[in-house]
A and B are shown apart, each in its own frame.
Chain A
Amino acid sequence: MTAQRAGAGRPAAGSAAARARDTLAFEWIKLRSVRSYAWTLAIAAVVTIGLTAFLAHTVSAAPHSPGGGPLSSPVISFLAYAEYGVLPVSILGALAFTSEFGTGLISTTFTAVPRRWAVVAAKAAVVGAVTLLAGEILAFASFWLTQAILAAHHRGVSLAHPGVLRGVLSAGLLMAVCAVTGLGLGAIIRHTAGAIAATVAVIYLLAALCLSLPSPWKADIGRFTLAFAAYQLVTLHPQAGLFSPLVSLLVLLAWPALALVVAAVLVSRRDA
């Protein structure tokens, strides 16, 4: 990764670029050296790939349902399950901060890098990059596995089909979005259990609440939630009442951005 390359040719003086590289490397070493973070990615992989394969098998066995429903569009159904793989990844994001607050290691981190917003940015960059990479690998792996199973029943779609590539890429992005949102909430809340609860609320509960609203509000309010935005991006047929995929992408990115800005402000103002 970038952090490994940064070791060579580093200027001795504390130029802004050198400091940024060092802060990134600091966070990268910390992330890489705790085995439990690798665990989260493993859990995400098992849950996502296992569920999509399971669903693909179930779908392929089902008769065609002309009336629609989740089974009629194989792409939606597999990507909907990617949503459940994001939970372990969001926990990873939250832990990147809460484990340091919990142990008191945050004091060491902030004495090493007193510009606290830079710590927030570096953590977000490292966690975001790792989870984006993992997310895209998982999304494409799930997609090809699903299509391999469905193709045997002549029900698959190709990556070239309109909207499919966007859907698969967005499913991978969703992992990074959820992880960075979890990271921001971890910095804001500082306690592991609270941060995980808040992350689950932001990712799942807000959307679930909106679904229970009466009809015009359901879409009007719901389209601002992370889950609705993700749905619009991964589906082959975006719903009319919701935002377009492009605006949904902005909504999707606004959540982690908002969490990070609030986190950077709070972390800088509060005593460590």
Chain B
Amino acid sequence: MSAPPAPGAAIAIVGVVAAVAIGFAVLCLVILAQSATVRYLPKWGWALIICLSIPWGGIVFLILGPVRGMPAVTAEYPKPPEPAARPPATQSSRRPGTSAAEIEVRGLTKHYGEVIAVDGLSFVVKPGHVTGFLGPNGAGKTTTMRVILGLAAPTAGTALIGGRRYAEITRPLREVGSLLDANAVHGARTAQVHLRAIARSNGIGQRRVTEVLELTGLEAVAGRRIGAFSLGMKQRLGIAAALLGDPGVLIFDEPVNGLDPEGVRWIRQLLRALAGEGRTVLVSSHLMSEIAQAADRLVIIGRGRLLADTTTEQFVASNARRDVLVLSPGSSDLAGVLVARGATVTPEDGGRLAVSGMESAAIGDLAAEHGIAVHELVPRHASLEDAYLDLTSASTDYRAGQAEPASQAVAQ
């Protein structure tokens, strides 16, 4: 094989040898346990015992097989080429305008021993929108999603989908599609069989498996083992699985992780297309930049608490600082003129003025009108990412012992 030796191949070989040795030892003990047998052991007896020991090496594969990135499996199959992403067409039977269920989280609290992962969290995810679920790592996003999906039991509070707990839904995959961890697959199965098994569990036909494989651009690698997939391809496989039941509610945990820029764009288009069909779409991310372009609503949490529940537009308007830094020899005169026209003026270092509520062109015109010289006129933008970082770092500050919850200032 021309493939480079996999790093874990040596471990696998040692494992197989160990298993054969254990098998040999077990068989010897069996023989010796009945001491009468040993006396009548034929000449070829020991050769037979050694032969019988060999299949025990297979046990190593049984135990190592499900372990992620099993080298013996991936080395055998070269990575299939990354399939081209195609523009999303969800091939849905869903009629545009039909409204899907809401996700309603009320007073959700989840403790893991001493650790409070989610703390009194409440929000509603509406159909027809992509809702970005944002927070730094460890903010409680995944825990919240696991509670919504019935995988973890809440310590207090409820998480309902269309007014029901997830566990009460008869055919859950037909109503709620989810992707939590793209790596949570058995590497020995092919993509096709993986999807076929999941489809069968909810009585979903085989035609739909083919449809979602085409939709996610995986049809060319459908017969390949998942163990040979890149993370990006596993993400697509996870999305394919989520779409199997053509569900009205979709929950994706960090679906952009591991995707190349084209894959990221594909996901954004897909998310918008899904929401455009009237579905409820909840997508988590720890990066604002990943999600701001796709999400029209934002639920931002930090340390398990709600920091903001708003539209992306509102969040931009209220949080993204935009001002103009002005340096003028007649700064006090200029400040008076600007304030009179409704701008907000704050003095900054070096005699500069930070002017907000007025564009730089208007400031320049106004200064010229009043004969005030202007030496510098610098528009400043604080990005959405900065606003988000300000917001989430505030939650950390609060936890560190500030008296006043900083989150109240921005929560809508």
Chain A positions within 8 Å of B, measured between CB atoms, are 10, 12, 14, 18-19, 22-23, 25-26, 29-30, 33-37, 39-40, 42-43, 46-47, 50-51, 54-55, 57-59, 61-62, 65, 69-71, 77, 81, 84, 87-88, 91-92, 95, 98-100, 102-105, 107-115, 192-193, 196, 269, 271-272
Contact = CB atoms under 8 A, between A and B. Distances in A.
A77 B33 CA distance: 12
A122 B344 CA distance: 68
B172 A114 contact: yes
Contact of A103 (B37, B45, B68): B68
Nearest to B244: A112
Nearest to B194: A33
Which 6 pairs between the two chains have the least Cβ-Cβ distance? A104-B184, A99-B66, A26-B201, A14-B170, A29-B197, A271-B152
A14 B167 CA distance: 14
A57 B37 CA distance: 10
A104 B27 CA distance: 35
B173 to A, nearest CB: 6
B51 interface: yes
Given A69-B36, A103-B66, 7 more contacts: A19-B170, A19-B203, A26-B197, A61-B40, A62-B40, A91-B63, A111-B172
B42 A61 contact: yes
23 contacts: A22-B203, A29-B196, A29-B197, A40-B59, A42-B55, A43-B56, A50-B51, A50-B52, A51-B52, A54-B45, A65-B36, A87-B26, A91-B59, A92-B62, A99-B186, A103-B187, A107-B180, A108-B198, A111-B149, A111-B173, A114-B166, A114-B169, A269-B153
A205 to B, nearest CB: 13
Contact of A193 (B63, B66, B187, B203): B63
Interface in B183-220: 183-190, 193, 196-198, 200-203
B67 interface: yes
B167 A54 contact: no
Q: DSSP majority for the A interface?
A: helix
A87 B25 CA distance: 14
A18 B193 contact: no
B150 interface: yes
B37 A58 contact: yes
Contact of B186 (A34, A39, A88): A34
B203 A47 contact: no
B171 interface: yes
Contacts of B150: 110-111, 114
Interface string B18-44: 000000001100100010110111100
Contacts of A30: 186, 189, 197
Contacts of B100: none
B188 A34 contact: yes
B324 to A, nearest CB: 50
Given A103-B68, A105-B184, A108-B198, A43 B59 contact: yes
A35 B61 CA distance: 10
Interface residues of B, number: 60
Contacts of A36: 58, 61-62, 65, 188
Given A22-B202, A103-B66, A103-B68, A14 B36 contact: no
Contacts of A62: 36, 39-40
Contacts of A22: 200-203
B30 A84 contact: yes
A98 B63 CA distance: 9
Nearest to B56: A43
B285 interface: no
A112 B202 contact: yes
A33 B181 contact: no
Contacts of B202: 22, 112
A199 to B, nearest CB: 13
Contacts of A54: 45, 48-49, 52
Nearest to A95: B62
A270 B247 CA distance: 27
Contacts of B203: 10, 12, 14, 18-19, 22
B36 A50 contact: no
A3 B95 CA distance: 33
B241 interface: yes
B52 A39 contact: no
B151 interface: yes
Contacts of B241: 108
Q: Which of A12, A22, A54, A55 has the most CB of B within 10 A?
A: A54
B151 A107 contact: yes
A23 to B, nearest CB: 6
A47 B52 contact: yes
B65 A55 contact: no
A58 B63 contact: no
Interface string B149-163: 111110000000000
B146 interface: yes
Nearest to B200: A25
Given A55-B37, A99-B66, A103-B68, A111 B186 contact: no
Nearest to B42: A57
B178 interface: yes
Given A40-B62, A95-B62, A112-B173, A105 B48 contact: no
B151 A112 contact: no
B190 A39 contact: no
Nearest to B54: A46
Contact of A192 (B58, B63, B183, B186): B63
Nearest to B48: A54
Contact of A23 (B63, B146, B181, B201): B201
A229 B109 CA distance: 49
Contacts of A50: 48, 51-52
Contact of A111 (B51, B61, B178): B178
A271 B151 contact: yes
A91 B37 contact: no
A202 to B, nearest CB: 17
Contacts of A39: 58, 61-62
